[in-house]
Amino acid sequence: MLRLQGEMVRGGTSKCWIFDHQDVVATGVDIDTLLLAAFNAADPRQIDGVGGASSTTSKAAIVRASAEPGVDVEYTFAQVGVGDERVEWTSNCGNCATAVALYALHRGLVPITSETTTVRMINANTGARLTGTIPTPGLVPPDEGTAVVPGTSALGVPVLLGFQDPAGSTTGRALPTGRPLDTLAGRDGPVEASLVDSGAPVALFDAKAFGLDGNESVAEFAAVVPVLTALRRQAALAMGLAGPDDPVGHAVPKVGIVGPPAGYRTTHGMPVDQDEYDLAVRMVSMHAPHPAIGLTSAIALATAVAMPGTLAHRVARPTADGTLRLGTPAGVISARAVPAPDGASPTVLLHRAARRIARAELLVPAPEGHPE
């Protein structure tokens, strides 16, 4: 049985297991094999491992100190399979980044010299640069706080998560086609789309084009998900994310609809008034409605709203100070764009929360033939 130190940390609405790169190397086992065994990925119930048997609770991050100037830590995000012996390494996860920031503070990877500490991170999967700013009163890393995020009533340490220079993170351009508005060939005719690359590549559609308002319940939105996933392929081709002969992917770009603010109820039944937010959004996660919104998609929306001509700019309530309040099925999530120096695109800030749940030594079944 292999031994592996790890911490279970909630970041926003995800539960992430965080490991130190050195501890992973010390096992002598390749990381895919190690994570698949530790989580019991083969089992849809993950009954023999530390995984939580759902996509939001079957995540890991491997962290190390960075040698790069201006960067404190580097993390690699792993989406570990549930009933599927595969680890996906292709995307970033904003929720896990939030958890990594709190973990890094507690592990002493960042010196605490004032009442607020910023952890500067680089995501190794995508090259994205992020910051996590955490209150450190008394110069000690905090274990508790009263910050909440839509999607859970649990309290946590407040983490101000910043995505630095997010525009063009995948393709090099905020608008990969060079246009704020494109027309894709839908099943029932042409459909307008704004194809944006910021945080992650995202294809946005006007809710009205599908007879919707953008503030529907998850169940109502589910009806148009097949149409949107069909359009995803064309968006990928237009954005240069896939070639005509590539296999059809289901993760890139992210797709969703936007609409003007209007009163609605969250999945938990809480009323949200028209004045409480600026843009209604319903995103697709793989093949199903996203219960809230992925943080990287929130970044793309903040970028899109700031660009005249995009669908998001067209339907959103104009905001003065760069704060965009997104109305999602789980509630309102705010993203604030602040100007950056040196020609970089605006940094986008999100208020998130994290909590360390457990510090553990995992006992991991060694792969066959592996000397322990």
Interacting residues toward a copy of itself by CB under 8 A: 1, 8, 10, 13-15, 40, 42-43, 45-50, 52-54, 56-57, 143-144, 151-156, 355-363, 365
Round to whole Å and give the CA distance between 98 and 160: 8
**Residue closer to a copy of itself (CB basis): 13 or 310:** 13
**Residue closer to a copy of itself (CB basis): 40 or 131:** 40
User: Taking the complex as a whole, how short is the minimal distance between the CB of residue 156 and a copy of itself, in angstroms?
Assistant: 8
User: Taking the complex as a whole, how short is the minimal distance between the CB of residue 61 and a copy of itself, in angstroms?
Assistant: 16
**Residue closer to a copy of itself (CB basis): 48 or 273:** 48
**Residue closer to a copy of itself (CB basis): 57 or 194:** 57
Q: Where are the beta strands (DSSP E) in 187-304?
A: 189-198, 200-206, 254-259, 264-265, 271-272, 279-285, 288-289
Q: Give the position of tokens 């698949």.
A: 36
Q: Give the position of tokens 């959004």.
A: 281
**Residue closer to a copy of itself (CB basis): 15 or 232:** 15
User: Taking the complex as a whole, how short is the minimal distance between the CB of residue 299 and a copy of itself, in angstroms?
Assistant: 22
Q: Give the position of tokens 């910023």.
A: 118
Nearest Cα residue to 305 out of 288, 276, 280: 280
User: Taking the complex as a whole, how short is the minimal distance between the CB of residue 324 and a copy of itself, in angstroms?
Assistant: 25
Is residue 77 within 8 A of residue 65, CB to CB? The reply is: no
**Residue closer to a copy of itself (CB basis): 11 or 346:** 11
* Amino acid in position 130: L
Write the CB contacts of 184 (distance below 8 Å, at least 6 apart in sequence). Answer: 190, 191, 192, 193, 231, 234, 235, 238
Name the pairing type of β-strands 254-259 and 279-285.
antiparallel
Question: What single-letter DSSP state applies at residue 343?
Answer: T
**Residue closer to a copy of itself (CB basis): 344 or 358:** 358
Nearest Cα residue to 323 out of 332, 313, 335: 335
User: Taking the complex as a whole, how short is the minimal distance between the CB of residue 169 and a copy of itself, in angstroms?
Assistant: 27
144 CB burial (10 A radius; 0-12, 13-18, 19+) = exposed
User: Taking the complex as a whole, how short is the minimal distance between the CB of residue 43 and a copy of itself, in angstroms?
Assistant: 6
Query: How far are the Cα atoms of 14, 77, 181, 241 from residue 168, in angstroms, in the given order?
Result: 26, 20, 16, 12
Is residue 192 within 8 A of residue 183, CB to CB? The reply is: yes
**Residue closer to a copy of itself (CB basis): 56 or 274:** 56
User: Taking the complex as a whole, how short is the minimal distance between the CB of residue 356 and a copy of itself, in angstroms?
Assistant: 5
User: Taking the complex as a whole, how short is the minimal distance between the CB of residue 14 and a copy of itself, in angstroms?
Assistant: 7
